Amino acid sequence: LSDRLSGIFDKLTRRGALSEADVSEAMREVRRALLEADVALDVVKSFTDKVRNRAIGAEVVKSVTPGQMVVKIVHDQLVEMLGSDAKPIDLHAVAPVPILMVGLQGSGKTTTTSKIARRLTERDRKKVLMASLDTRRPAAMEQLKILGEQNSVDTLPIVPGQTAVQIASRAINAAKLGGYDVVILDTAGRVTVDQELMAEVAEVKRQTNPHEVLLVADALTGQDAVNTARAFDEQVGVTGIVLTRVDGDGRGGAALSMRAVTGKPIKLMGVGEKSDALEDFHPSRVADRILGMGDIVALVEKAAANFDADQAAKMAKKMQKGEFDLDDLAEQLRQMQKLGGMSGIMGLMPGMGKMKNQIAAAGFDDKHIKRQIAIVQSMTKKERAKPALLDAKRKRRVAAGSGTDVSDINKLLKMHRQMADMMKKMGRQKGGMLGKMLGG
Ligand code: GDP
Ligand code: MG
């Protein structure tokens, strides 16, 4: 996808730095893609803000196109927000190291418990004990026992009638006596977050003082997973997240949201039902996946369609020659409108920061731009080519024709004069900076 994305961007004129126009339209589609990928709204917002700040004005390295540059920035920002590289389960503690598994019912706690146990046993040569604290579903303890037998991992013998806390301390004791390196406590879940569940989990945590509290969350539940993560982190406190069902066609958006909301690292991913379907979390891979979803491509098509490179080049030539009349101004205004941003074309040019601020101060919203265009349209062809012709009488006529005041006409003329002056100056600069900027 990244190739296609930058391919489309290649159609855009190559410039020295990414402009606000390059980025703005792109961000709109990235935003939509992220929402489609199930990323929480506020996370999407802070993400696109960060990318925007990072991207605008970023130098396009010589060997890459602006498109490749934007893709890279979006990707890098995703990776950064997802967390640096994979953080393994931390076992640096006195054995037996307790690990507490928490999460909603059906999120994959029991499955993940046995996956982790298997991995620690086979790969890290640890002696692992698993214990089910799920006193609510009669089959739950049996399920863990069977998984243990399948993977040659010991489980705590089942004693009926005990509370979760009692089982937990029995597990810790058994692990100490049995010389285990790690003891994994698999808790009960509920369909939704409730106080009783939270209180039970919190109490188990107090009693066992686990070295890791891993929140198991189903990647397919999207937005709900985020709320769950927040609740567990606030009320129990987690040290890491395991994302399950990453093999499904979930879009990875949950990962980004959970990470952003809790700030806790995603340590592992479940990628299937089998007990070896467990992988380290790789931010870069998940970023690719998020990038691959939704219609990021559509963006860029839109942006490319909106940005008329020929038009820009023609404009640049005129500016260099110091020919910038009111028709050109109107054209710029229309471009701005199309690009959906107040600084549209002005944003393409370095050294125009001051002007950009003035435009912003003038309140260049859509309505305002429309009015300005209307003013120009109410002028005669001669007036547009030679604004000096506009005396008081003509101004009154234009104001009446465009439904504005003479003061509006004056403001527009003043802005035009400033722009024309600035452009003349820039046009005269050595090497024709404007021309370069606009691909001329
Ligand atoms: P618990 O209620 O949180 O203990 O959830 P379970 O561990 O019993 O898992 C519920 C269901 O999800 C089971 O059918 C598991 O096989 C399935 N499951 C768990 N993790 C994954 C995963 O990473 N991928 C897929 N496809 N299924 C999973
Ligand atoms: Mg379970």
Considering the domain architecture, whether residues 276 and 128 belong to the same structural domain is answered as yes
Average pLDDT over residues 73-92: 81
Looking at 79-88, 134-143, 345-354, which range is the least confident one?
Answer: 345-354
Q: What is the band of 361 on the pLDDT scale with cuts at 50, 70, 90?
A: low
Task: Answer yes or no: is the C-beta of 137 below 6 A from any ligand 1 atom.
Answer: no
Q: What is the pLDDT of residue 365?
A: 58
- The band of 59, judged by pLDDT with boundaries at 50, 70 and 90, is low
Q: Which three-class secondary structure state does DSSP give residue 269?
A: strand
pLDDT category, 348, cuts 50, 70, 90? Answer: very low
- The answer to whether position 91 is within a domain reads no
Q: Is residue 269 part of a domain?
A: yes
pLDDT for 344 equals 40
**Read out DSSP for 181-216?**
SEEEEE----SS--HHHHHHHHHHHHHH--SEEEEE
Q: pLDDT value at position 66?
A: 64
Pocket test for ligand 1, best of 105, 109, 111 (most atoms within 8 A of CB): 111
Has residue 189 been placed in a domain?
A: yes
Q: The domain spanning residue 424 has which CATH number?
A: 1.10.260.30
In a domain, 222, yes or no: yes
The residue among 266, 281, 296 that closes a domain is 281
Distance 112 CA to ligand 2 centre (A): 9
Q: Residues 71, 103: one domain?
A: no
In a domain, 276, yes or no: yes
- Specify the higher pLDDT residue, 296 or 415: 415
Query: For ligand 1, atom 2, which residue shows the shortest CA distance?
Result: 106
What is the percentage of the chain residues whose pLDDT exceeds 90?
Answer: 37
**106: Cβ below 6 Å to ligand 1?**
yes
pLDDT at 48: 86
260-264, 303-307, 365-369, 400-404 — which one is most confidently predicted on average? Answer: 400-404
Nearest to 217 by CA among 118, 139, 105: 105
> Two tokens at 337?
């409108």
Mean pLDDT of 30-46: 80
For residue 1, what pLDDT is reported?
Answer: 40
> 146 C-alpha vs ligand 2 centroid, how far in Å?
12
Q: How many CA atoms lie within 13 A of 256 on its CB side?
A: 33
Residues 266 and 194 in one domain: yes
Atom nearest to 143 CA in ligand 1: 8
- Which comes out higher in pLDDT, residue 46 or 302? 46
Q: Is the pLDDT of residue 102 over 60?
A: yes
Which range of residues forms the domain containing residue 274?
97-281
Residue 184 forms part of a structural domain: yes
Q: Is ligand 1 within 6 A of the CB of residue 65? A: no
pLDDT by residue (tens digit) across 140-149? 999 999 999 9
pLDDT tens string 164-196: 999 999 999 999 999 999 999 999 887 777 888
Q: What was the pLDDT predicted at 213?
A: 97
Q: Determine whether the annotation assigns residue 189 to a binding site.
A: yes
Residue 247 is assigned to a ligand binding site: yes
- If asked whether residues 321 and 184 sit together in one domain, one would say no
Instruction: Identify the domain boundary among 273, 307, 341.
Output: 307
Tell me whether residue 214 is in a domain: yes
32 and 148: one domain? Answer: no
- Does 249 show up as a binding residue in the annotation? no
pLDDT band at 283 (very low <50, low <70, confident <90, very high): confident
Averaged confidence pLDDT in the chain: 78
Same domain for 156 and 117? yes
pLDDT band at 309 (very low <50, low <70, confident <90, very high): low
Is 72 in the same domain as 59?
yes
Mean pLDDT of 96-122: 95
pTM: 0.63
Nearest to 194 by CA among 102, 100, 101, 104: 104
Q: Is 66 in the pocket of ligand 1 (CB under 6 A)?
A: no
- Cβ 103 under 6 angstroms from ligand 1: yes
pLDDT for position 171:
97
- Condensed to tens digits (0 to 9), the pLDDT of residues 225-276 reads 788 888 999 999 999 999 898 887 666 677 788 888 888 999 999 989 999 9
Whether the CB of 115 sits within 6 Å of ligand 1: no
Tell me whether residue 90 is in a domain. no
Which residue minimizes the CA distance to atom 14 of ligand 1? 273
Q: Which residues surround ligand 2, an ion (CB under 5 A)?
A: 109-110
As a whole number of Å, the end-to-end CA separation of the chain is 30
Q: What is the pLDDT of residue 407?
A: 93
Query: What pLDDT sits at residue 275?
Result: 92
Asked if residue 259 and residue 199 are part of one domain, the reply reads yes
Q: Would the annotation count 253 as a binding residue?
A: no
pLDDT of 311 over the 50 cut:
yes
CATH number at residue 125: 3.40.50.300
Our answer on whether the CB atom of 270 is closer than 6 Å to any ligand 1 atom is yes
Total structural domains within the chain: 3
Q: Are residues 157 and 204 in the same domain?
A: yes
Give the Å distances, CA to CA, from 180 to 95, 97, 133, 172. 7, 8, 18, 9
Q: Which atom of ligand 1 is nearest to the CA of 246?
A: 23
Q: Is 103 annotated as a binding residue?
A: yes
Identify which of 273, 276, 279, 281 to mutate to test ligand 1's pocket (most ligand atoms within 8 A of the CB): 273
**Quick one: which atom of ligand 1 is closest to the CA of 103?**
3
Distance 354 CA to ligand 2 centre (A): 61
Amino acid 330: pLDDT: 83
Residue indicated by tokens 């790969």: 123
Choose between 80 and 38: higher pLDDT: 80
Q: If you average pLDDT over residues 117-142, what whole number do you get?
A: 93
Q: Please tell me the predicted confidence (pLDDT) of residue 172.
A: 97
pLDDT > 60? residue 333: yes
Report which DSSP code applies to 158.
Answer: P
- For residues 274 and 293, membership in a common domain is answered with no
Does 164 lie in the same domain as 269? yes
Q: Is 403 annotated as a binding residue?
A: no
Residues 194 and 293 in one domain: no
So what's the pLDDT on residue 116? Answer: 97
The residue that leads in pLDDT, 339 or 60, is: 60
Establish whether 106 is an annotated binding residue: yes
Which of these, 345, 313, 341, lies nearest to 329 by C-alpha position? 345
Please say whether the dihedral angle defined by the alpha carbons of residues 413, 415, 421 and 427, taken in this order, is positive or negative. negative
